[in-house]
């Protein structure tokens, strides 16, 4: 099938750690959280217990800073057998509020790449997390005008991508998803017949890690910077 020049290709972009830094903010908060609990437990125990609490609460809370903050408080009470003070719990609440109010720090090359692509392609943001937090970050990013649609999801899986394809009349064969998470951005899209470009971030949350990289010749690409995206698009679209 040759590319029809009158019919634009659709590119989906993940947001956190693809358009702007995010996991580094969580990492900084983890450091302060470990310090807060250092007189009770070593860092590895704190990390492991917090992650277990997050996973246990994920179905109830979903992704995002508010659920993370609640799980952090719950874990701190558990790990200190109730010895943590209200003042220290207040510090955790403040950490969460600082995360929500954190400035949006764009990744290198994002502005130039989106500017060069938005004239010739249909661009979507497809992200998960707290509704208001993601909307606020997009508004603050200055990138909103590049995107035709913004989809904030409670989960990024085959079902939710399929719903997006239907909603926007997207042919998955002409859809390419760009993101830092193999699990959320690439695997479900490949499974639906779409294509994916993995742009790893230097930090990956444990819940997003996958053991085996995907195999899908001509439909899966890995680049080190979003700056390399136009070159991938040339290769990819030539094969359509």
**CB under 8 Å to 19, separation ≥6 — which residues?**
13, 106, 107, 110, 125, 141, 143
CA distance 170 to 176: 11
Is 159 a residue that touches its own copies (CB under 8 A)? no
Q: How far is Cα 70 from Cα 79, in angstroms, rounded to an integer?
A: 14
Distance of CA 103 to the CA centre of its chain: 17
Among positions 36, 153, 182, 189, the unique one binding its own copies when judged by CB under 8 A: 153
Tell me how far CA of residue 190 lies from CA of 123, 145, 182, in angstroms: 18, 27, 10
Taking each helix axis from N to C end, the angle separating 43-61 and 65-79, rounded to the nearest 10 degrees, works out to 130
Binders of its own copies in range 59-78 (CB under 8 A): 60-62, 66-67, 69-70, 73-74, 76-77
Binding span for its own copies by CB under 8 A among 92-100, 113-121, 190-198, 230-238 = 92-100
> Helix, strand or coil for residue 10?
strand
Which C-beta is closer to its own copies: that of 65 or that of 190? 65
Residue 157 binds its own copies, judged by CB under 8 A: no
Q: Which is nearer to its own copies, 73 or 114 (CB)?
A: 73
In whole angstroms, what is the distance from residue 75 CA to residue 61 CA? 15
Candidates 55, 131, 144, 207; binder of its own copies (CB under 8 A) is 131
- Scanning residues 199 to 238, which ones bind its own copies (CB under 8 A)? none
Least distance to its own copies from the beta carbon of 31, Å? 21
Task: Kindly tell me which residue out of 35, 42, 55, 132 binds its own copies, with binding defined by CB under 8 A.
Answer: 132
What residue ranges bind its own copies (CB under 8 A)? 57, 60-62, 66-67, 69-70, 73-74, 76-77, 80, 82-87, 89-90, 93, 96-97, 100-101, 130-133, 135, 152-155
């Amino acid at each position: 099938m040759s590319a029809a020049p009158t019919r634009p290709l659709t590119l989906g972009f993940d947001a956190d750690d693809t358009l702007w830094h995010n996991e580094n903010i969580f990492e900084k908060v983890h450091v302060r959280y470990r310090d807060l609990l250092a007189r009770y437990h070593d860092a590895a125990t704190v990390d492991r217990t917090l992650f277990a609490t997050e996973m246990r609460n994920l179905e109830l809370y979903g992704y995002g800073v508010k659920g993370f903050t609640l799980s952090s408080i719950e874990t701190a009470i558990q790990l200190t057998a109730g010895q943590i003070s209200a003042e220290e719990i207040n510090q955790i609440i403040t950490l969460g509020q600082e995360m929500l109010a954190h400035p949006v720090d764009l990744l290198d090359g994002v502005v130039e790449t989106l500017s060069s692509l938005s004239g010739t392609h249909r661009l979507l943001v497809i992200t998960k997390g707290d509704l208001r937090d993601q909307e606020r970050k997009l508004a603050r990013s200055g990138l909103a005008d590049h995107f035709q649609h913004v989809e904030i999801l409670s989960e990024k899986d085959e079902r939710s991508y399929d719903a997006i394809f239907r909603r926007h009349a997207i042919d998955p064969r002409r859809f390419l998803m760009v993101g830092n998470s193999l699990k959320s951005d690439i695997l479900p899209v490949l499974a639906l017949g779409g294509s994916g470009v993995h742009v790893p971030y230097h930090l990956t949350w444990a819940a997003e890690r996958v053991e085996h990289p995907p195999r899908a010749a001509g439909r899966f690409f890995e680049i080190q910077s979003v700056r390399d995206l136009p070159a991938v698009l040339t290769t990819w679209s030539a094969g359509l």
